[in-house]
Structure formats: structure tokens, C-alpha cells
Amino acid sequence: MIGSKILREPVQNQSRLSIKMLEEAGKDQANTDRYVRGEAIPATLLSPGAGRFWLAVFLTGIFTGLGAAALTRIVQMVQHFVWGGSGLNILETAESVSPSHHASALLSAGLVTVVGTLILRQVTNANSIDVTAAIWFHAGRLPWVRTVGSALLSVINVGMGAPLGREGAPKQVGAVLANLFSDKGKLSDEQRKLLVACGAGAGMAAAYGVPLGGALFAIEVLRGMLALRFVLPALITSIVATGVSWIFLPDAPTYHLPKFTNSYPLMLWALVAGSVIGLFSVGYIRAVTWAETRRPTGWLRYISPVIALTLVGVVSIRFPQILGNGKDIAQLAFDSRIAPLLLLSLVFLKPVATIGSLGSGVPGGLFTPSLSFGAVLGGVLGLVCTHFMPGTPAGIYALLGAGALLAATTQGPVSAVVLLMELTGGDRRFILPLLIAVGAATIVTRTIEPRSIYDAKLTDKEIEARMRARDQSLPITG
């Protein structure tokens, strides 16, 4: 009996190994067949179906750049109309208007949200699909009328003072354009998914002037894989979109930094603070998920945005820093121009305003609000260190905090570092502590929470399926 068992076990193991080898061979053959049919991502210009694919890439980049420039101008015009000034700095003008102006402006933004939602429901019966969900579970297909309408509504809201990001709109428009050109070019599902991710990343790249960061965001955060076959399409789409947008928008960094110096104590702080920020990021991601999955339904969806944004308007009378996407807060934090008590207040008020608005049904992005939350959180965590390192400017703590929280909440450490470098026009002086903070925050967050802020609308089952597909490089089935 023992001898026969010993003889059977190698045979069974060999059988399992043979079956596994046959399965792998079948997958390789299937991939080869897809390549021959022109369904895979073309590696060169001579690959089957390459002409249609690369033409779609270029057209997506061109029209996404135009769309991002138009949406940016809309934000500026709305902001100028509602708040006055140049339309570039909402904080500067919000501090000079009357308290009633704050309340009425945000009340109006809530009413615009309700009216816009009603119009979209009348025009189209299609439900909105998140870009991430579309890429992973709908082969990149999006309802274009509903998605473009939501994008326009979000930039109008941000211009009126809603505490959400404006990058969501160009990201949505880029994804819709990529979907359109995928249809025209009769691209395969795999090509469409990549192109939609590239279009969304190109929208961000064009809106903020960050071509490399936008490309990495597309493949690392949205497509979920830093694969070589994805790099060139993402780069070309973002480069073309950014180049087109620069015809209409200024070619300048979003944030301007003072001179920072590096030190070993700062690197030690980056390691400790990055780990703490990772824990904060878990709470932030879960709060965003809670807000996205519990948006009001029925008649509540028509009064919640009005209530939420009116409350934001009332609070902004005392704290105008919570208005808009948070760009102004981050700049002040980088310049070390926020008082400690205000920093402590904004660590609570800014994310609450953002999540409350999002949960009420107001459309908008999360990129810049997350960056600004990280900046004020980093500033708060650096307050203690200013007593032990008096020569270190407080702004460096805000900068490292912004990068750490951005990386952890997007689950994209590589793209977060590059995005922050491009947004600030920064050099290598702070790159090492930035990498340390980003690495510590991301590993802490990823250990506890598999989601990112862009996965908030996905169910737990979809998250598991996406992680399995991403880690194994297999398509999702079923």
C-alpha cells in the first residue's frame, strides 16, 4: 500500500504539471492567434492592425487636448462670472466678497447640479459608468452623452466653488473620445480598454501640462499594469494632448516652489510621516467609498446637493480655503504661508467638504482635493519637526505629504512621484525624501486597503476580480 502510494504521487504530480503546461501552451497559442488577427496591442507600426490603432491614438490625443483646453476655459469663465477677479485664484476673490455672496454662490451651485441632473435624465436613459469600471468591466465602453454632460456639470460646479477637482471632466472627455475612435477604427476590446485609459490619462495631462505623469497615471492607476506594450500608446496620447492644449493654455508649472534642501533628518521624517499618512489614506479611501456607494436616491437626490453645497458656502465665510479644488491651499502650504491653527482646521474641513459634496451627488474629481489634503496633513505632521529642525522650511513637509497621500490614495506610487515633479517643475533636491514618503505611505495603505479613490464605485467582488486579473495578467471573465 505504501509503495503504491509512493508510485502514484509522482504520477499525479506529473499529470498536474502536464495539464498546467498544456493550459499555458493554450494561452500562448491564443495570444498568438489574437496577435495575427490584429486584436492585441500593436508593438510596431508593421504589426497587424497597427494603422487603425495608432491613428486612433493620435486622434484621441488631438481632440482630448482640445477638449481639456475648452473645459479649462469654462472653469475660468464661470469662476470669473461668479466670484470676479481673473478666474484663476478663487481664494483671492472669495476673501474679498460678502458673506451672503458665499452662501448664494454655493446655493446656486447646488441648484445647477439638480437642474443638470434632471436634464441628463431626460436626454438619456443610460446610467453613468465610472471610467475605471468601464475599463475593467465594460471593455472601455461609456455612454457618451451622459458622460460628457456629467463632465460639463462638474466643471461648472468647480468654477462656482464646489470643493471638488476639475480633472474629472477632461478625464471623462478623453475616455469618451477614445471610445468613439475605437468604434470608428473597429478596435478589439483589449485595444479599446487601453485606449480609453490613455484618453483619460491624456485628459489629465492636457489639463495640468503633465504629459509623462498623465501617461503613467493611465497605465498604472487606470489600466492597472505597468506593461511595456502599454507605454508607447499612453505616452503618445498624452504628449499629443498636452502639445495641443499648450496652444491655448500656458506652459507653466501648476505650483511654484521655494528652494528646498535635503537632509538625513528630513528623510527619517519622510519614513515616519509617510507611514502615518498611509493610515490616514486608508480612512480617506474608505470615506470616499462610503460617500460614492451611499449617494441619495429618489427625491433626496434633488435636495442633497443643495443642502451640502449651501453648508459649504456657510462654512467658507470663515474658511474660504475650502472652496474650489484646493489648488490655492496647496500653494500656500508649499510656501509655508498657512498658520498652524488654520492648518489643523483644514486637515478636518477640506476632506469633509470634499466627501460631503461627493456623497450628496455633486459630480467632480478627487485628484487636486487629495493633493491639497496631503499638503495640509504633511504640514501638520511637520509642525513638531520645526522645533527640532529650525532651518527646514515648513513647505517641504507639505510637499512630501502631498506626494505621499496622492500615491497612497491612487495606489500609483510611480505616477504620483512623476506627477508631483511635473506639477511643481521640481528638480532632484527633494526626490529622495519624496520617494521614501511615497513608498512608506503606499505600502501601509495597500497592506490594509486594496482600493484606491478611483475604485470607490466598484463592489468588493469587482475589486477581487480586478486584482486577480491585474496580478495574473489575465482577462476578467464571467
Whole-model pTM above 0.75? Answer: yes
User: What is the structure's pLDDT at 409?
Assistant: 97
Query: Class assignment of domain 50-245?
Result: mainly alpha
User: What is the structure's pLDDT at 120?
Assistant: 87
User: What is the structure's pLDDT at 475?
Assistant: 45
In this chain, the answer to whether the domains covering 50-245 and 264-472 adopt an identical fold is yes
User: What is the structure's pLDDT at 397?
Assistant: 95
User: What is the structure's pLDDT at 296?
Assistant: 87
DSSP state of 93: H
The dihedral of CA 415, 420, 425, 429: what is its sign? negative
* Best CATH choice for the domain 264-472 from the list 1.10.3080.10, 1.20.140.10, 1.10.357.10, 1.10.10.10: 1.10.3080.10
The answer to whether 313 and 438 are in contact (CB under 8 A) is no
3-state helix, strand, coil in the chain (%, to 5): 75, 0, 25
Could you state, in chain order, the average pLDDT of each consecutive group of 10 residues for the chain (478 residues)? 45 45 44 51 81 96 97 94 83 90 95 92 75 87 90 94 92 96 94 96 95 96 86 96 94 87 88 97 96 87 93 95 93 92 95 95 93 96 79 88 97 95 85 96 95 85 74 47
The whole-angstrom separation of Cα 43 and Cα 170 is: 28
Q: 462-465 long-range contacts, Cβ below 8 Å, gap at least 24? A: 462/133, 462/136, 462/137, 465/136
Q: Which amino acid is at 232?
A: L
Domain positions in the chain: 50-245, 264-472
